[in-house]
Chain A
Amino acid sequence: MTLEGFLLLAAALFCVGLFGALSQQSIVMLMMGLELMINGIVVAGAAFWFWVSPGRADGQVLVLVAITVMALEMAMGFAVVTALFRARDVDMTDDAGDLRG
């Protein structure tokens, strides 16, 4: 186990998520891509804590914030999808390209 190995894993997870966020048509699938990207940030934060500054808790706090952001992103995303589905009967990004009041 090395810092480079963990960072490589984080980069791979982030880029797989980036592919999903860019390529998926469904908003729910797009959110899965965003979750994978945050997953990569969690791995990188934990690796920096362990290999760079384990004496301070900063890296752990960053991981805690990233996990919270992950949960909030999912909750807000589903609420927006629900509102969008009610208003327009769509759940695809291509049909929701504009915001109408």
Chain B
Amino acid sequence: MEAVAFWVLAVAAVGAGIAVFVVDSMARATFALLASFLCVGGELLLIDLHYLGVLIVLMMIMEMLVMAVFMVMYMMNPAGLMPMTMLHNRRGALAVSGAAFAALAAGVFTVPWPRRAGRPPRDPTVALGEAIMGPKMLVMMVIGVAILATMIATVVLAAHRGRYDGGDGTR
């Protein structure tokens, strides 16, 4: 049962990922990406990562809604009323990504992966919380500083006055 769910979600995740670059509307591309993320969230739920799976689902719903707004703001044809193509070097990109997939798939099946060490904890979320509040606290501190730095940098970059403007609005 779980194996069936895994393969259905896996095919759906990859199919939605491909659809992102195939559909002719920005809004559809955004929601195809959201579908891919939701399927990956479901995959994580299958291997007991309940907190991280739900985190991906909730976070990506919000992230993709924000992305849809930016799509409509910046891009032509947000609703798919006119067909368009925005690709360059399609053949080269296909060759590179196809070769990368072949190499990765070959590695997946030829590398002798180590045997499983230990057993999943009864509650993986508790284990994660104890790790990031204990021995892995440096990771959490770096993440926190990175989020703060990103908040400041995004406001500075996106503000109308820019970095060096004197404040009179002219450049």
Contact = CB atoms under 8 A, between A and B. Distances in A.
A11 B154 contact: no
In the complex, which range does the number of interface residues on chain B fall in? 35 or more
A57 B162 contact: no
A33 B86 CA distance: 14
Given A18-B100, A39-B36, A72-B150, A11 B108 contact: yes
Contacts of B36: 13, 36, 39
Which secondary structure dominates where chain A touches chain B?
Answer: helix
Contact of B75 (A11, A28, A71, A76): A28
B70 A81 contact: yes
Nearest to B52: A63
A58 B134 CA distance: 12
Contacts of B17: 12-13, 16-17, 36, 39
B35 to A, nearest CB: 12
A85 B104 CA distance: 37
B167 to A, nearest CB: 16
A64 B51 CA distance: 10
Interface string B29-70: 110010011001001101111001001100100010011001
Interface in A46-101: 46-47, 49-58, 60-61, 63-65, 67-68, 70-72, 74-76, 78-83, 85-87, 91-94
B83 interface: no
A60 to B, nearest CB: 4
Contact of B3 (A1, A19, A65, A91): A1
Contacts of A70: 63
Given A11-B101, A75-B150, A64 B21 contact: no
Given A7-B108, A83-B157, A14 B100 contact: yes
Interface of A: 1, 3-9, 11-20, 22-26, 28-29, 32-33, 35-36, 39, 42-43, 46-47, 49-58, 60-61, 63-65, 67-68, 70-72, 74-76, 78-83, 85-87, 91-94
6 contacts: A36-B36, A52-B117, A78-B70, A78-B154, A78-B158, A80-B157
Interface of B: 2-3, 6-7, 10, 13-14, 17-18, 20-21, 26, 29-30, 33, 36-37, 40, 43-44, 46-49, 52, 55-56, 59, 63, 66-67, 70-71, 74-75, 86-90, 92-94, 96-98, 100-101, 104-105, 108-109, 113-114, 116-121, 124, 127-128, 130-132, 136, 139, 143, 146-147, 150-151, 153-155, 157-158, 160, 162
